[in-house]
Structure 1
Amino acid sequence: MNDPVVTRYATLADLEHVIDLHTRARLAYYQAGGLTADAVQGPAVREAQRTGWAEAIESPHKRVLCATVGDDIVGVAAMGPPLAPTPDTSRAGQLYQIHVVPGRWGNGIGSVLHAAFVDYLTEADLPLGIIEVWERNTRALGFYARHGWRPDGGSRPGPESSRHLFLRLDPAASLR
């Protein structure tokens, strides 16, 4: 019998697990996209992760969720108001990131976390979801496309002359 995937709010007691999971997932997708481990990890990156995750967990305006199977944290998601608001995103929620332990990809954990983001949009009465995805993270781009996300034509610079693509989700349209 397999334990179900359960989501819960992250606490500061989860911080080291969240950072380790984020690091492992990040290394996997950046290396798959052609970057070296040295280009995506190091003491400064780890400290920035610690600060960013702690602030997000403690923020009253953001939501950080852990996906668990049994006692193991197997995924994490962070969401909240847009980080770089523009006039057309005033009624949007941003999915900052979803990360799943690389050995557990393809087991529905990301979909459970994604559903929690859609619930967040519904609860906050936000008609639009936004996210940025690294263009070389083809696995993530496929995942988001399957969940109804579409490119909006925008992007920002990424590592090594790559781009982070802006995607949008209309939850009402994706439920039709």
Structure 2
Amino acid sequence: MIVTTSQAFLRTANLDDLDGITDLHTQARATYYQAGGLSEVEITSPDARARRREAWMRSIQSDATTVLCAVLEREIVGTLAMGPPLESAVDAAAVGQLYQIHVRPGCWGQGIGSQLHAAFVQFLRDASLDTGLLEVWERNTRARTFYTRHGWKPDGHPRPGPCDASYVRMRLNLGSDF
């Protein structure tokens, strides 16, 4: 999948992007988790980075997961991972899951997250799915505001997260927009 816009170039990620995606993810996590009370050591330790790198490698190599990079001036400034629902109880014939959107903190507010979100909505449409599902840490107010602005609503199914704060599950219903 390749999409070109006036802001960033969106393309399918490959293993050559692995370190860039891992670094970007680490920077984004450090910003929102530290703001929510998680220690920097828990976020940026070499072990935590290695786990993130391994997870991204599995995602990029997976046939079920789509990973996109947003590239601006040859630098990865955003990433998106999406695919089928992670919970077996969720109907994969109707629902696609947005696993992660991350934008380099210095690039926030430039529309890159919205570009990546639009790619997720297109993913749903291309797969004839009418519902999107995601989880967001309740203390990540920036992300929750972003998703709410794009039409997502909490669905009442939280799960435990770090620092005694839950992950909030949210849904996007394309409905009549479909």
Fold shared by both chains (TM-score > 0.5): yes
Alignment correspondent of 2:169: 166
Alignment correspondent of 2:137: 134
Pairing partner for 1:42 from 36, 42, 45? 45
Separation in structure 1 between the aligned mates of residue 123 and residue 162 of structure 2, nearest angstrom: 30
Could you give the per-residue CA deviations for residues 29-80 of structure 1, whole angstroms, max 9, x where no partner exists?
A: 0011122101223222212111110111111111000001121110001000
Instruction: Identify unmatched segments of 5+ residues in structure 2.
Output: 1-5
Separation in structure 1 between the aligned mates of residue 63 and residue 57 of structure 2, nearest angstrom: 12
Separation in structure 2 between the aligned mates of residue 62 and residue 100 of structure 1, nearest angstrom: 19
Q: TM (normalized to structure 1)? A: 0.93
> Are the equivalent residues in 2 in contact too, given 1:89–1:128 (CA < 8 A)?
no
Alignment correspondent of 1:151: 154
The 3 A distance-change label for structure 1 pair 9 and 80 is: same
Matches within 5 A, 1:73-112: 73-88=76-91, 90-112=93-115
Separation in structure 1 between the aligned mates of residue 7 and residue 107 of structure 2, nearest angstrom: 13
Q: Which amino acid aligns with 1:108?
A: G
Instruction: Identify unmatched segments of 5+ residues in structure 1.
Output: none
Moved more, 65-74 or 18-27: 65-74
> Are the equivalent residues in 1 in contact too, given 2:42–2:48 (CA < 8 A)?
no
> Displacement, 1:90?
4.7
% identical aligned pairs:
51
Separation in structure 2 between the aligned mates of residue 24 and residue 101 of structure 1, nearest angstrom: 7
> Displacement, 1:18?
0.2
> Are the equivalent residues in 1 in contact too, given 2:84–2:92 (CA < 8 A)?
no
Separation in structure 2 between the aligned mates of residue 161 and residue 23 of structure 1, nearest angstrom: 21
Q: Which amino acid aligns with 2:119?
A: A
Aligned residues: 173
Runs of 4+ in 1 over 2 A off after TM superposition: 87-90
> Displacement, 1:160?
1.4
